[in-house]
Protein backbone atom coordinates (compact mmCIF):
# COMPACT_ATOMS: atom_id res chain seq x y z
CA UNK A 1 0.00 0.00 0.00
CA UNK A 2 0.96 3.65 0.11
CA UNK A 3 2.70 3.37 3.49
CA UNK A 4 4.89 0.51 2.26
CA UNK A 5 5.82 2.60 -0.77
CA UNK A 6 7.30 5.29 1.48
CA UNK A 7 9.68 2.71 2.93
CA UNK A 8 11.51 2.48 -0.38
CA UNK A 9 11.91 6.23 -0.94
CA UNK A 10 15.26 6.42 0.84
CA UNK A 11 17.07 3.63 -1.06
CA UNK A 12 15.34 4.68 -4.28
CA UNK A 13 16.58 8.26 -3.87
CA UNK A 14 20.17 6.99 -4.03
CA UNK A 15 19.51 5.63 -7.50
CA UNK A 16 17.04 7.98 -9.16
CA UNK A 17 15.60 11.30 -8.04
CA UNK A 18 13.10 11.24 -10.89
CA UNK A 19 11.84 7.81 -9.80
CA UNK A 20 11.21 9.10 -6.27
CA UNK A 21 9.35 12.17 -7.50
CA UNK A 22 7.31 10.05 -9.89
CA UNK A 23 6.41 7.58 -7.13
CA UNK A 24 5.40 10.35 -4.75
CA UNK A 25 3.20 11.90 -7.41
CA UNK A 26 1.46 8.54 -7.86
CA UNK A 27 0.96 8.29 -4.11
CA UNK A 28 -0.53 11.78 -3.96
CA UNK A 29 -3.03 10.76 -6.63
CA UNK A 30 -3.94 7.60 -4.73
CA UNK A 31 -7.42 7.65 -3.10
CA UNK A 32 -5.93 6.38 0.15
CA UNK A 33 -3.21 9.04 0.32
CA UNK A 34 -4.99 11.73 2.34
CA UNK A 35 -6.52 9.21 4.71
CA UNK A 36 -3.63 6.84 5.39
CA UNK A 37 -0.41 8.73 4.67
CA UNK A 38 0.84 11.88 6.34
CA UNK A 39 4.25 13.00 5.01
CA UNK A 40 6.73 13.61 7.81
CA UNK A 41 10.07 15.41 8.07
CA UNK A 42 11.91 12.37 6.70
CA UNK A 43 9.72 12.23 3.61
CA UNK A 44 10.06 15.96 3.04
CA UNK A 45 13.85 15.73 3.42
CA UNK A 46 14.03 13.01 0.77
CA UNK A 47 11.84 15.01 -1.59
CA UNK A 48 13.90 18.17 -1.00
CA UNK A 49 17.03 16.23 -1.94
CA UNK A 50 15.42 14.91 -5.13
CA UNK A 51 13.95 18.25 -6.18
CA UNK A 52 17.29 19.96 -5.53
CA UNK A 53 19.13 17.44 -7.68
CA UNK A 54 16.71 18.17 -10.50
CA UNK A 55 16.99 21.94 -10.07
CA UNK A 56 13.35 22.28 -8.98
CA UNK A 57 14.22 24.82 -6.32
CA UNK A 58 10.77 26.36 -5.92
CA UNK A 59 9.40 22.92 -4.99
CA UNK A 60 12.37 22.23 -2.72
CA UNK A 61 11.95 25.53 -0.86
CA UNK A 62 8.21 24.94 -0.50
CA UNK A 63 8.93 21.62 1.23
CA UNK A 64 11.59 23.30 3.36
CA UNK A 65 8.97 25.70 4.69
CA UNK A 66 6.69 22.75 5.47
CA UNK A 67 9.43 21.37 7.72
CA UNK A 68 9.72 24.73 9.49
CA UNK A 69 5.94 25.16 9.79
CA UNK A 70 5.66 21.70 11.35
CA UNK A 71 7.90 22.84 14.20
CA UNK A 72 10.94 20.82 13.13
CA UNK A 73 14.45 21.90 12.20
CA UNK A 74 16.08 20.82 8.91
CA UNK A 75 19.12 18.60 9.16
CA UNK A 76 22.53 19.74 7.97
CA UNK A 77 22.16 17.36 5.02
CA UNK A 78 18.88 19.01 4.00
CA UNK A 79 20.47 22.46 4.14
CA UNK A 80 23.37 21.17 2.03
CA UNK A 81 20.93 19.69 -0.49
CA UNK A 82 19.27 23.09 -0.89
CA UNK A 83 22.57 24.96 -1.21
CA UNK A 84 23.78 22.39 -3.73
CA UNK A 85 20.52 22.70 -5.66
CA UNK A 86 20.95 26.44 -6.13
CA UNK A 87 24.57 25.95 -7.16
CA UNK A 88 23.66 23.20 -9.62
CA UNK A 89 21.61 25.74 -11.57
CA UNK A 90 24.38 28.33 -11.03
CA UNK A 91 22.13 30.64 -9.04
CA UNK A 92 24.75 31.76 -6.53
CA UNK A 93 22.69 34.86 -5.75
CA UNK A 94 19.80 32.71 -4.49
CA UNK A 95 22.22 30.42 -2.66
CA UNK A 96 23.79 33.35 -0.82
CA UNK A 97 20.38 34.84 0.00
CA UNK A 98 19.35 31.50 1.47
CA UNK A 99 22.61 31.34 3.41
CA UNK A 100 22.47 34.90 4.77
CA UNK A 101 18.73 35.43 5.26
CA UNK A 102 17.66 31.94 6.36
CA UNK A 103 20.59 29.95 7.73
CA UNK A 104 22.74 32.62 9.38
CA UNK A 105 19.74 34.25 11.07
CA UNK A 106 18.78 30.88 12.56
CA UNK A 107 22.26 29.61 13.33
CA UNK A 108 21.14 28.10 16.64
CA UNK A 109 18.77 25.68 14.92
CA UNK A 110 20.31 25.47 11.44
CA UNK A 111 23.72 23.81 11.64
CA UNK A 112 26.21 23.83 8.76
CA UNK A 113 29.37 21.77 8.32
CA UNK A 114 32.55 22.07 6.26
CA UNK A 115 30.85 20.58 3.22
CA UNK A 116 28.16 23.29 3.35
CA UNK A 117 30.83 25.93 2.89
CA UNK A 118 32.64 23.92 0.23
CA UNK A 119 29.47 23.89 -1.89
CA UNK A 120 29.21 27.68 -1.74
CA UNK A 121 32.94 28.37 -2.08
CA UNK A 122 33.22 26.19 -5.19
CA UNK A 123 30.41 28.07 -6.92
CA UNK A 124 31.65 31.49 -5.79
CA UNK A 125 35.10 30.73 -7.17
CA UNK A 126 33.58 29.57 -10.45
CA UNK A 127 31.83 32.95 -10.65
CA UNK A 128 34.99 34.86 -9.78
CA UNK A 129 33.64 36.04 -6.41
CA UNK A 130 36.88 35.20 -4.62
CA UNK A 131 36.60 37.77 -1.84
CA UNK A 132 33.20 36.46 -0.74
CA UNK A 133 34.61 32.94 -0.91
CA UNK A 134 37.42 33.96 1.45
CA UNK A 135 34.88 35.46 3.86
CA UNK A 136 32.95 32.18 3.87
CA UNK A 137 36.19 30.30 4.46
CA UNK A 138 36.65 32.35 7.64
CA UNK A 139 33.23 31.19 8.83
CA UNK A 140 34.04 27.58 7.98
CA UNK A 141 37.23 27.75 10.04
CA UNK A 142 35.16 28.67 13.10
CA UNK A 143 33.36 25.32 13.01
CA UNK A 144 34.60 22.73 15.48
CA UNK A 145 36.79 20.03 13.96
CA UNK A 146 34.82 17.28 12.26
CA UNK A 147 36.50 13.90 12.92
CA UNK A 148 34.59 12.15 10.13
CA UNK A 149 35.64 14.76 7.59
CA UNK A 150 39.32 14.52 8.50
CA UNK A 151 39.85 18.05 7.20
CA UNK A 152 39.21 16.98 3.60
CA UNK A 153 36.46 19.53 2.90
CA UNK A 154 38.47 22.36 4.47
CA UNK A 155 41.46 21.50 2.29
CA UNK A 156 39.16 21.54 -0.74
CA UNK A 157 37.85 24.98 0.31
CA UNK A 158 41.38 26.34 0.38
CA UNK A 159 42.24 24.66 -2.93
CA UNK A 160 39.21 26.12 -4.73
CA UNK A 161 40.19 29.64 -3.69
CA UNK A 162 43.86 29.04 -4.48
CA UNK A 163 42.98 27.93 -8.00
CA UNK A 164 40.83 31.00 -8.62
CA UNK A 165 43.50 33.35 -7.27
CA UNK A 166 46.09 31.75 -9.55
CA UNK A 167 43.71 31.88 -12.50
CA UNK A 168 43.20 35.59 -11.84
CA UNK A 169 47.00 36.05 -11.75
CA UNK A 170 46.99 36.87 -8.04
CA UNK A 171 49.86 34.54 -7.24
CA UNK A 172 51.16 36.48 -4.23
CA UNK A 173 47.70 36.37 -2.62
CA UNK A 174 47.56 32.66 -3.37
CA UNK A 175 50.83 32.13 -1.52
CA UNK A 176 49.60 34.24 1.39
CA UNK A 177 46.50 32.06 1.65
CA UNK A 178 48.57 28.89 1.33
CA UNK A 179 50.84 30.08 4.14
CA UNK A 180 47.79 30.75 6.31
CA UNK A 181 46.46 27.31 5.45
CA UNK A 182 49.64 25.56 6.60
CA UNK A 183 51.04 27.70 9.41
CA UNK A 184 47.93 29.25 10.96
CA UNK A 185 45.33 26.52 10.48
CA UNK A 186 47.68 23.52 10.46
CA UNK A 187 46.11 22.11 7.29
CA UNK A 188 48.49 20.07 5.17
CA UNK A 189 48.69 20.82 1.42
CA UNK A 190 47.72 18.02 -0.93
CA UNK A 191 48.47 17.32 -4.58
CA UNK A 192 45.83 19.77 -5.76
CA UNK A 193 47.39 22.54 -3.67
CA UNK A 194 50.72 22.08 -5.43
CA UNK A 195 49.10 21.76 -8.87
CA UNK A 196 47.25 25.05 -8.39
CA UNK A 197 50.40 26.94 -7.38
CA UNK A 198 52.41 25.39 -10.22
CA UNK A 199 49.65 26.52 -12.58
CA UNK A 200 49.96 30.03 -11.13
CA UNK A 201 53.68 30.12 -11.90
CA UNK A 202 53.15 28.79 -15.42
CA UNK A 203 50.69 31.59 -16.19
CA UNK A 204 53.54 34.03 -15.55
CA UNK A 205 55.99 31.83 -17.50
CA UNK A 206 57.89 31.24 -14.25
CA UNK A 207 58.87 27.74 -15.24
CA UNK A 208 61.92 27.49 -12.97
CA UNK A 209 59.77 28.26 -9.94
CA UNK A 210 57.11 25.86 -11.19
CA UNK A 211 59.67 23.09 -11.60
CA UNK A 212 61.12 23.78 -8.15
CA UNK A 213 57.65 23.54 -6.64
CA UNK A 214 57.02 20.34 -8.57
CA UNK A 215 60.19 18.84 -7.10
CA UNK A 216 59.11 19.97 -3.66
CA UNK A 217 55.79 18.23 -4.20
CA UNK A 218 57.58 15.05 -5.27
CA UNK A 219 59.45 14.89 -1.97
CA UNK A 220 56.47 15.86 0.16
CA UNK A 221 55.54 13.27 2.77
CA UNK A 222 51.89 14.30 2.42
CA UNK A 223 51.51 13.22 -1.19
CA UNK A 224 50.99 9.82 -2.71
CA UNK A 225 51.76 8.85 -6.31
CA UNK A 226 48.90 8.77 -8.79
CA UNK A 227 48.74 7.61 -12.42
CA UNK A 228 49.28 11.24 -13.46
CA UNK A 229 52.51 11.57 -11.47
CA UNK A 230 54.00 8.20 -12.40
CA UNK A 231 55.83 9.44 -15.52
CA UNK A 232 59.16 7.87 -16.43
CA UNK A 233 62.32 9.87 -17.10
CA UNK A 234 62.41 8.52 -20.65
CA UNK A 235 58.94 9.88 -21.34
CA UNK A 236 60.00 13.29 -20.06
CA UNK A 237 63.01 13.24 -22.42
CA UNK A 238 60.71 12.24 -25.28
CA UNK A 239 58.37 15.13 -24.53
CA UNK A 240 61.33 17.54 -24.56
CA UNK A 241 62.43 16.07 -27.92
CA UNK A 242 58.96 16.77 -29.27
CA UNK A 243 59.20 20.43 -28.32
CA UNK A 244 62.68 20.73 -29.88
CA UNK A 245 61.50 19.16 -33.14
CA UNK A 246 58.53 21.49 -33.30
CA UNK A 247 60.67 24.58 -32.88
CA UNK A 248 63.23 23.30 -35.40
CA UNK A 249 60.42 22.74 -37.88
CA UNK A 250 59.40 26.39 -37.60
CA UNK A 251 56.40 25.76 -35.42
CA UNK A 252 55.91 28.16 -32.56
CA UNK A 253 54.48 25.96 -29.81
CA UNK A 254 51.44 27.22 -27.97
CA UNK A 255 49.52 25.76 -25.06
CA UNK A 256 47.23 23.79 -27.33
CA UNK A 257 50.05 22.23 -29.32
CA UNK A 258 51.96 21.21 -26.20
CA UNK A 259 48.81 19.68 -24.80
CA UNK A 260 48.13 17.86 -28.04
CA UNK A 261 51.62 16.36 -28.27
CA UNK A 262 51.74 15.34 -24.64
CA UNK A 263 48.23 13.95 -24.83
CA UNK A 264 49.21 11.75 -27.76
CA UNK A 265 52.42 10.76 -25.97
CA UNK A 266 50.70 9.55 -22.82
CA UNK A 267 47.66 7.97 -24.43
CA UNK A 268 48.58 4.38 -23.66
CA UNK A 269 50.66 2.07 -25.80
CA UNK A 270 54.20 0.82 -25.46
CA UNK A 271 57.00 3.30 -24.80
CA UNK A 272 58.88 1.71 -27.69
CA UNK A 273 56.61 3.53 -30.13
CA UNK A 274 56.67 6.84 -28.28
CA UNK A 275 59.02 8.58 -30.69
CA UNK A 276 57.00 7.42 -33.70
CA UNK A 277 53.93 8.95 -32.12
CA UNK A 278 55.82 12.19 -31.54
CA UNK A 279 57.14 12.27 -35.09
CA UNK A 280 53.65 11.83 -36.50
CA UNK A 281 52.22 14.50 -34.27
CA UNK A 282 54.97 16.99 -35.03
CA UNK A 283 54.47 16.38 -38.74
CA UNK A 284 50.80 17.22 -38.28
CA UNK A 285 51.73 20.41 -36.44
CA UNK A 286 54.25 21.47 -39.08
CA UNK A 287 51.64 20.99 -41.81
CA UNK A 288 49.14 22.91 -39.74
CA UNK A 289 51.61 25.79 -39.41
CA UNK A 290 52.26 25.72 -43.15
CA UNK A 291 48.56 26.03 -43.88
CA UNK A 292 48.06 28.58 -41.08
CA UNK A 293 45.86 26.24 -39.08
CA UNK A 294 47.47 27.04 -35.71
Rounded Cα–Cα distance for residues 103 and 109 (Å): 9
* Helix 41-54 vs helix 57-69: crossing angle, to nearest 10: 160
Please report, for the chain, the start and end positions of each structural domain, with discontinuous segments joined by +: 1-105, 113-230, 233-290
CATH class label, 113-230: mainly alpha
pLDDT value, residue 260: 52
Other Cβ atoms within 10 Å of 66 Cβ, number: 16
Pairwise CA distance, residues 224 & 58, whole Å: 44
Report the pLDDT value the prediction gives residue 184, as an integer from 0 to 100: 95
Binning the chain into helix, strand and coil, the percentages to the nearest 5 are: 70, 0, 30
Low-confidence ranges of the chain (pLDDT < 70): 1-39, 146-150, 221-294
- The whole-model pTM stands at 0.69
Q: Could you tell me which CATH class the domain 1-105 is placed in? A: mainly alpha
Which pLDDT value is given to residue 251? Answer: 61
Q: What is the pLDDT of residue 236?
A: 56
User: For 153, what's the count of Cα atoms within 13 Å in the CB-facing half-sphere?
Assistant: 19
Amino acid sequence: DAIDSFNILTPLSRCSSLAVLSLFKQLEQSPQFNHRVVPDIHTWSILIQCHSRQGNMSSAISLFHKIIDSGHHPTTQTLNDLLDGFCRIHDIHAAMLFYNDIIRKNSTNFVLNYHSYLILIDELCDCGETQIAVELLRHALQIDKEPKDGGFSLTCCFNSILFRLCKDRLLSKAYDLCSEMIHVNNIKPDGTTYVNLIYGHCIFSQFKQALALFRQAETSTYLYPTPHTLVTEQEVKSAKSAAALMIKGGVKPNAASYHSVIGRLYKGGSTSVVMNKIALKVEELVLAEHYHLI
